[in-house]
Amino acid sequence: MNQIAAMTDKLRNRFADAPPWVRWIGVAAVLGFAVYLPLLDIPGLNVIRTDYGGSGSDWPSVLFLVLIYMIVAVGLNIVVGLAGLLDLGYVGFYALGAYSVALFGSPASPVTVWIAEKFGLETGWAVPFALCIPIAIMLTIVSGVILGAPTLRLRGDYLAIVTMGFGEIIRITARNAESVTGGAAGVINVPKPPGPEIDGRDFFNTVDAERWYWLVLAVLLLAIVVARRLEHSRVGRAWMAIREDEEAAVIMGVAAFKFKIWAFAMGAALGGVAGLLYASKYTFVTPQTFVLNLSFLFVAMVVIGGAGNIWGALLGAFLITYLPERFRAFEDWRPFAFGVALVVIMVLRPQGLLPSRKKALEYKARQIEAEGIKA
Amino acid sequence: MDWNVLWDGLPDHTLDGLTRGAIYALVALGYTLVYGVMRLINFAHSEVFMVGTFAVLGVYAALGATVGMGWPAVVGITLVALAAAVAASASTALAVERIAYRPLRRKNAPPLIFLITAIGCSLTLLEIFGFVLYEFFGSPFGRGVVSIDPIFPSRNLVETDLINITNVELLVMVSALVMMVGLDWFVNRSRIGRGIRAVAQSPDNAALMGINQERVIMLVFVVGGAMAGVAALLWTIRYDVTKFDVGFIIGIKAFTAAVLGGIGNLRGALLGGLLLGVIEVYFSVLVDSSWVDVTAFVVLVLVLMFRPTGLLGESLGKARA
């Protein structure tokens, strides 16, 4: 494992030292490959397709899910990786995003029916998809602030439990408040983004998953750019200062509470967008989709990949989503393998598979310190 | 909201809440002890409880327990089940400590990582009982609800218009109280307990005074696990069912109870557990039982907002009056 780590380190150093045009070509090549990926048909490379050999899950759909979880990982990386706040209820924001597009955008949802009745609109009225996006973002940000305001003053481990409670409350509410959310049956007819008709089908439909993949790829790129800019801004430095030592940061004049709320809100918004896209592709939402285990999965993506490093989070999201789909034959064993892997990876490599440089150094220092105490 | 229903059955509901709460309190001890010594939430503790319930099930099956046995057989089998549950839970807790926490302590890893390995352990244990063992042995393992023979016959001891007290409720409460008082004595009065408190107060100074920190940590996990084992037996006697994920909700509630009373504080765990149990039962009578699991979270958030140190304050080191 350490040899692999040394190799990736070397690769990263060479990439960082290369002239800008080489780096741009590298980025363009990776992007080009990412765009081509759902159509992948190169002999030899075909093996990575999840439907290799004719059976298995639909490859573009798997890629779509990978990207959705990558958006989630980018968002959660802001909260867990940068600001150092352990959020175990992230699925709550994901669910909120999904439910807001479903409740406002679907003509079949109790909310739109109620609004239509109230204001005398024609039956079948619903909020257009484009308007659902700001609604979803607003709702998740507001809920992030509402959740964060009382809890972010707490110590880290309390925060973990309270956020976990938040995730569960969202799910239980979605299940029980039947007159608003449709209860256990959920909401159907979630709207899709508009687009020209091709071959007699809508541009975004339930069959051609690669179009959804490209859409989400664009959103993911946007999310990465936003997250990167945030990370290297004043806000990002404040987050990292809080993560490293909150008291010291406060003494230096960082308004810790404000920035923590910010981190929560930004993370929540990205989680909401991911949930929105997910619900839109699958055209229905039910409370069963948003179980607590999903929250653990999200945190695991960020931490296994290497908390604080956006590329690590992406790697984690990829591994955790792709590997189980590729090895569907062992489907029932997956949660078990996942639990064992979580323990083994974290015990052997607590800094994650692909940590940020700063983190890697920090862990080395911590280990030396620990050995020093023993000696 | 139907207050009359609550008022009419108030003594009964209170008793029901107290028995529930006694079990929460026993599980809460595990969280509180570990937190007091290591400043760590042992996420896998809920599964420690679950393993205990399955140990009881195993003993019942192995000894051929059936409903309607004579009292000597019932008492004998219950005692064996108690021993088995305590042993199983304590060794699970110890195994979690060895596998998931100790290597990280050696590496001086930040607290976040402990939480992740704990979640990993929790998931692994869940899957072992919910799936892996089912593959090899079939039921009672697996994802369904497992019913346990109520070999302990429930009888009304006191039967009035106002309140019914069954022997099971009495047994649960008395044994929980006995365990609590015993543990309180152990931590506050015994020599080993002094070591535990010393490590909780200041690990470095305790080490200088010749206390073996690793041993104290092991001990704390074993004792906390044993309490969860007792709780597991009481749970099976009271509710007659278990499930591979039975620990999850109980774990959350026990943790809430620990925080409510002041995490790290043994007496706080008892108070918090009983209080939470009663609140929960009242709430489910008043509103609706499908919302009952939300209560614990709401209580938790309220406590953390208005009194984050809990009702009795949160230090294990200063637990002695």
Q: Is A92:A79 a contact under the CB 8 Å cutoff?
A: no
Most confident of A303-312, A361-370, B181-190: B181-190
User: How do beta strands A187-188 and A284-285 pair?
Assistant: antiparallel
The residue with tokens 């990776």 is A30
Task: Give the chain B residue whose CA is nearest to the CA of A302.
Answer: B116
**C-beta atoms of A150 and B116 within 8 A:** no
A87 and chain B: CB distance < 8 Å anywhere? Answer: no
How near does any CA of chain A get to the CA of B55, in Å?
A: 21
**C-beta atoms of A86 and B112 within 8 A:** yes
Q: Is A240:A82 a contact under the CB 8 Å cutoff?
A: yes
ipTM of the complex: 0.85
CB hemisphere CA count around B40 (13 angstroms): 27
How high is the pLDDT of residue B319?
A: 45
Identify which of B151, B138, B175 has the alpha carbon closest to the alpha carbon of residue B63.
Answer: B151
Q: What is the DSSP string of B155-207?
A: -EEEE-SS-EEEHHHHHHHHHHHHHHHHHHHHHHHSHHHHHHHHHHH-HHHHH
How high is the pLDDT of residue A160?
A: 81
Percentage helix, strand, coil, to 5, in chain B? 75, 5, 20
Q: What are phi and psi of B76, to 5 degrees?
A: -60, -50
**pLDDT tens digits, A177-198:** 888 888 888 888 888 888 888 8
How high is the pLDDT of residue B55?
A: 94
Q: Give CB contacts under 8 A, 24+ apart, made by A41-45.
A: none
All residues of chain B having their beta carbon less than 8 Å from the beta carbon of residue A303 are 112-113, 116
**C-beta atoms of B131 and A336 within 8 A:** yes
- Identify the burial level of B257 via C-beta atoms within 10 angstroms of its C-beta, where 0-12 means exposed, 13-18 middle and 19 or more buried: buried
Give me Rg for the CA atoms of chain B: 20
The residue with tokens 């048909």 is A41
Q: Let me know the angle formed at the C-alpha of B279 by A288 and B169, rounded to the nearest 5 degrees.
A: 100
Side chain identity at residue A58, one-letter code: D
Q: Is A190:A102 a contact under the CB 8 Å cutoff?
A: yes
Q: Is A78:A243 a contact under the CB 8 Å cutoff?
A: no
A8 and chain B: CB distance < 8 Å anywhere? Answer: no
**C-beta neighbour count of A6 within 10 angstroms:** 10
B24 or A10: which carries more pLDDT confidence? B24
Task: Give the chain A residue whose CA is nearest to the CA of B292.
Answer: A172
**Rounded distance, CA B38 to CA B316, Å?**
11
Side chain identity at residue A250, one-letter code: V
Counting residues of chain A whose pLDDT is more than 90, the rounded percentage is 34
pTM of the complete model: 0.85
All residues of chain B having their beta carbon less than 8 Å from the beta carbon of residue A307 are 112
**C-beta atoms of B123 and A347 within 8 A:** no
| Residues A235, A239, A241, A245, CA torsion sign | positive
Strands (E) in chain A, as ranges, are 187-188, 284-285
Q: Is B261:B270 a contact under the CB 8 Å cutoff?
A: yes
DSSP 3-state of A198: strand
All residues of chain B having their beta carbon less than 8 Å from the beta carbon of residue A340 are 120, 124
Q: Is B141:B129 a contact under the CB 8 Å cutoff?
A: yes
**C-beta atoms of B115 and A84 within 8 A:** no
How high is the pLDDT of residue B274?
A: 94
For residue A81, the 8-state DSSP code is I
Q: Which residues pair with A284 in a beta bridge?
A: A188
Give me Rg for the CA atoms of chain A: 22
Per-residue pLDDT of chain B (321 residues; tens, 9 = 90+): 677 777 878 888 899 899 999 999 999 999 999 988 888 889 899 999 999 999 999 999 888 878 878 888 888 999 999 999 999 999 999 999 999 999 998 888 887 788 889 888 998 999 999 888 888 888 788 888 888 888 887 888 877 777 888 888 999 999 999 999 999 999 989 999 999 999 988 888 999 999 999 999 999 999 999 999 999 999 999 988 898 888 888 998 998 899 888 888 888 999 999 999 999 998 888 887 777 878 888 888 788 778 878 888 766 655 443
DSSP 3-state of A188: strand
Closest Cβ opposite residue B41 in set A154, A157, A307: A157
Q: Give CB contacts under 8 A, 24+ apart, made by B4-13.
A: B5/B285, B5/B286, B6/B282, B6/B285, B6/B286, B9/B285, B11/B162, B11/B163, B12/B163, B12/B164, B13/B278, B13/B281, B13/B282, B13/B285
Q: What are phi and psi of A231, to 5 degrees?
A: -60, -40
pLDDT of A42 higher than 50: yes
Closest Cβ opposite residue A342 in set B103, B116, B290: B116
The residue with tokens 């108070």 is B271
How high is the pLDDT of residue A373?
A: 61
How high is the pLDDT of residue B320?
A: 44
**C-beta neighbour count of A14 within 10 angstroms:** 10
Best mutation target among A161, A163, A373 (most B Cβ atoms within 10 Å) is A161
**C-beta atoms of B131 and A335 within 8 A:** yes
How high is the pLDDT of residue B316?
A: 66
Which of A32-46, A230-244, B214-228 has the least mean pLDDT? A32-46
How high is the pLDDT of residue B39?
A: 84
Confidence of residue A135 (pLDDT cuts 50, 70, 90): very high
- Identify the burial level of A64 via C-beta atoms within 10 angstroms of its C-beta, where 0-12 means exposed, 13-18 middle and 19 or more buried: buried
A350 and chain B: CB distance < 8 Å anywhere? Answer: yes
pLDDT of A374 higher than 60: no
Q: Is A231:A307 a contact under the CB 8 Å cutoff?
A: no
Closest Cβ opposite residue A172 in set B104, B293, B304: B293
Percentage helix, strand, coil, to 5, in chain A? 75, 0, 25
Look over chain A and give the mean of its residue pLDDT values, rounded to a whole number.
86
For residue A192, the 8-state DSSP code is -
Which helix (H) or strand (E) segment holds residue A239: the answer is: helix A234-244
The residue with tokens 């990876």 is A345
Which of A44-58, A239-253, A292-306 has the least mean pLDDT? A44-58
**Rounded distance, CA B160 to CA B243, Å?**
35
For residue B55, the 8-state DSSP code is H
**pLDDT tens digits, A68-105:** 999 999 999 999 989 988 888 899 999 999 999 999 99
Q: What is the DSSP string of A14-78?
A: HHHHS-HHHHHHHHHHHHHHHHHGGG---TTGGGGSTTGGG-SS-HHHHHHHHHHHHHHHHHHII
B153 and chain A: CB distance < 8 Å anywhere? Answer: no
**C-beta atoms of A366 and B107 within 8 A:** yes
Counting residues of chain A whose pLDDT is more than 70, the rounded percentage is 97
